[in-house]
Structure 1
Amino acid sequence: MSFEVLSYEGLVHAVSGAMGSVTAMTVFFPLDTARLRLQVDEKRKATSTPTILAEIIKEEGLLAPYRGWFPVICSLCCSNFVYFYCFHSLKSSWLKGQRSAPNTDLKLGIIAGVINVLVTTPLWVVNTRLKLQGSKFHNTDIHPTNYQGIIDAFVQIIGNEGVGALWNGTFPSLLLVLNPAIQFMIYEGLKRQLRKGVPRELASVEVFMIGAVAKAVATTVTYPLQTIQSILRFGQFNKSANKSKMLSSFMAVKCLLVNRVRKFGILGLFKGLEAKLLQTVMTAALMFLLYEKIASCTFRVMGLSNHTR
């Protein structure tokens, strides 16, 4: 198999995926804010999405649910561009015009996910810090930060915590490549079932529904690791939960999972899942819809057929 580094089809998919994800995330961004607060601020009593959003607006202002929008959008744009480009370029090179299968989609999704994690984790660490900066936490163990923007956050994190801190949460992130891999496997499989071997453009409602189903399954299965990933990216774990800086990535994840279960029970691993499902399922469904339409229109305008779809 030869990987096409410069692939026109891969570029179309990458741009379409990035544009679709940015638009969808902007629409449902407050739900992501609610999810992140529920994951990180352990002592907050609010447990439902409407309640915590009402609390945030009351305590921090009307625009608080959109705090950190710009760094998140920048990270998401880069992340989805890398993922879509790698996935579809790998798929084109691997299949060479042949029909795909679920196990192939899963393997390619994992490979694309690993590349994406290693390249974009620093962006996600910074955007998590900026998104939570200025928030009114109910957990007094959380220390405030003072970043002036994306560049300043990079400089301060490297200066105060070392370059390695930019890859906080990489281990659970690598495990979480299963999330988009499972999502794409289910999405591509459902798409093949709806077409039943007959090439056709799916209706908007069909794309929206299979995108929602695929993301709902992937999110529920991997949510406990997503919670640990958020805590590690926030960078407060080493200061409050464990004073040792010598913990391995595996031990850090294990320790956080065990502590979470001890404090809140098994359901504590799924704290914020309601907000996450609302946000991620609707965002993914809208993203896939926009992605399919943008890619389809682009290929149609250029007079090309999309061989990897």
Structure 2
Amino acid sequence: MASEVFSYESLVHAVAGAMGSVTAMTVFFPLDTARLRLQVDENRKAKSTPAILADIVREEGLLAPYRGWFPVICSLCCSNFVYFYCYHCLKASLLKGRQSTSSTDLITGIAAGVVNVLVTTPLWVVNTRLKLQGSKFHNADIRPTNYSGILDAFAQIIRGEGVGALWNGTFPSLLLVLNPAIQFMIYETLKRWLRREVPRELSSLEVFVIGAIAKAVSTTVTYPLQTIQSILRFGQCGTPTEKSKLLSSLRTIKSLLVNRARKHGMLGIFKGLEAKLLQTVLTAALMFLLYEKIVSLTFRVMGLGNSHLRKR
């Protein structure tokens, strides 16, 4: 087990995943800004993604779509490093040289996701606050914040809301480990199908397309919970009063979903999905493309050629 946990191959996958995700998110960051604004600001009228971005630029300035880029990139880098490292360590431990299956990919993805959520949720809470700070909201009930940076945001949240506030949205986040788990299961399954006759490197177009398909399916299935996760991380939904944290979390999620559906109809819980799909599908497709190229190049430089393909 120790050899898999501290293997060089796991480190290569983790670094490649982090580098690919950071680059892809930077390219498509404005699309994520539009998605988050639609999820959190209930009174903002749902429009097409270009229209939302045009409104944000007109109201808040040209650089507004990139507000909060640095904390998001820091969080994403740490999160994907942890996820890819855990995913490949666990997968190597389970398979021990055998061919992977869809069920193995799903189980490994869920386990890696749980570790990732517990370790990196505080970073995502802080970056959500920083990304929305200074925004012009259409909902007058939202309280403005004044953080000078990542460390100041941590300090203010702990001082004003308690340490537990750094893990706001953890329960829906744990449910949302299904998102990357489903994504990786579909991605790896499609990859095995395309390489069913002989191990080979997939073309850039093949990687891009199957990465987009995998993310589109996983995002659509889990989107309502992603909306609740964003609202909870923003910290504007009130403090639960029940003694049982699990029961409190379940009731909070149910309440937020029901209230949103009552205000905006059933489609209200999917508000911002178009922006999310546009952003996340393109980002995931580009991320997988860069990830595969970095891994392939690294193993080729190490002199392993295509031998690593048989382990996947």
> TM-score when scaled to structure 1?
0.97
| Number of the residue aligned with 1:63 | 63
How far apart are the structure 1 equivalents of 2:115 and 2:240? 29
Q: How far is 1:196 from its partner? A: 1.1
Deviations 1:16-65 (A, max 9, x none): 00000000000000000000000000001242211110000000000000
Native 8 Å contact 1:231 1:237 kept in 2: yes
How far apart are the structure 2 equivalents of 1:254 and 1:122? 23
Aligned partner of residue 4 in structure 2, secondary structure = coil
| Number of the residue aligned with 2:53 | 53
- Equivalent residue pairs, number: 305
1:264 equivalenced with 2:267 (yes/no)? no
How far apart are the structure 1 equivalents of 2:155 and 2:60? 27
Q: Tell me which stretches of 4 or more aligned residues in structure 1 moved more than 2 Å.
A: 1-5, 243-247
How far apart are the structure 2 equivalents of 1:92 and 1:296? 18
| Number of the residue aligned with 1:308 | 311
| Number of the residue aligned with 1:279 | 279
| Number of the residue aligned with 1:191 | 191
1:6 equivalenced with 2:13 (yes/no)? no
Q: How far is 1:11 from its partner? A: 0.3
**Alignment of structure 1 residues 30-179 onto 2, 5 Å:** 30-179=30-179
How far apart are the structure 1 equivalents of 2:219 and 2:79? 17
Aligned partner of residue 134 in structure 2, secondary structure = coil
Deviations 1:258-289 (A, max 9, x none): 10111111100100000000000000000000
Native 8 Å contact 2:240 2:252 kept in 1: no
Deviations 1:98-137 (A, max 9, x none): 1011011000000000000000000000000000000000
How far apart are the structure 2 equivalents of 1:308 and 1:74? 30
Native 8 Å contact 1:68 1:132 kept in 2: yes
One-letter identity of the residue aligned with 1:194: L
How far apart are the structure 2 equivalents of 1:294 and 1:283? 16
How far apart are the structure 2 equivalents of 1:3 and 1:178? 27
Q: How far is 1:4 from its partner? A: 2.6
Q: How far is 1:244 from its partner? A: 4.6
Q: How far is 1:3 from its partner? A: 7.3
How far apart are the structure 2 equivalents of 1:45 and 1:254? 23
| Number of the residue aligned with 1:295 | 295
Q: How far is 1:197 from its partner? A: 3.8
How far apart are the structure 2 equivalents of 1:45 and 1:270? 13
How far apart are the structure 2 equivalents of 1:167 and 1:222? 20
Native 8 Å contact 1:169 1:232 kept in 2: yes
Gaps (5+ residues) in structure 2? none
Native 8 Å contact 1:86 1:112 kept in 2: yes
How far apart are the structure 2 equivalents of 1:174 and 1:308? 28
Cα distance, 1:244–1:104 mapped onto 2, change above 3 Å:
closer
How far apart are the structure 2 equivalents of 1:244 and 1:27? 38
One-letter identity of the residue aligned with 2:253: V
Native 8 Å contact 1:179 1:222 kept in 2: yes
Gaps (5+ residues) in structure 1? none
One-letter identity of the residue aligned with 2:269: L
One-letter identity of the residue aligned with 2:200: R
> TM-score when scaled to structure 2?
0.96
Native 8 Å contact 2:68 2:127 kept in 1: yes
Q: How far is 1:223 from its partner? A: 0.1
**Alignment of structure 1 residues 24-35 onto 2, 5 Å:** 24-35=24-35
Native 8 Å contact 1:91 1:308 kept in 2: no
How far apart are the structure 2 equivalents of 1:229 and 1:86? 23
Q: How far is 1:181 from its partner? A: 0.2
Aligned partner of residue 4 in structure 1, secondary structure = helix
| Number of the residue aligned with 2:15 | 15
One-letter identity of the residue aligned with 2:286: L
**Alignment of structure 1 residues 237-248 onto 2, 5 Å:** 237-238=237-238, 244-246=240-242, 248=248
One-letter identity of the residue aligned with 1:290: L
Cα distance, 1:244–1:89 mapped onto 2, change above 3 Å:
closer
Cα distance, 1:276–1:220 mapped onto 2, change above 3 Å:
same
Aligned partner of residue 237 in structure 1, secondary structure = coil
Q: How far is 1:245 from its partner? A: 3.9
Native 8 Å contact 2:46 2:271 kept in 1: no
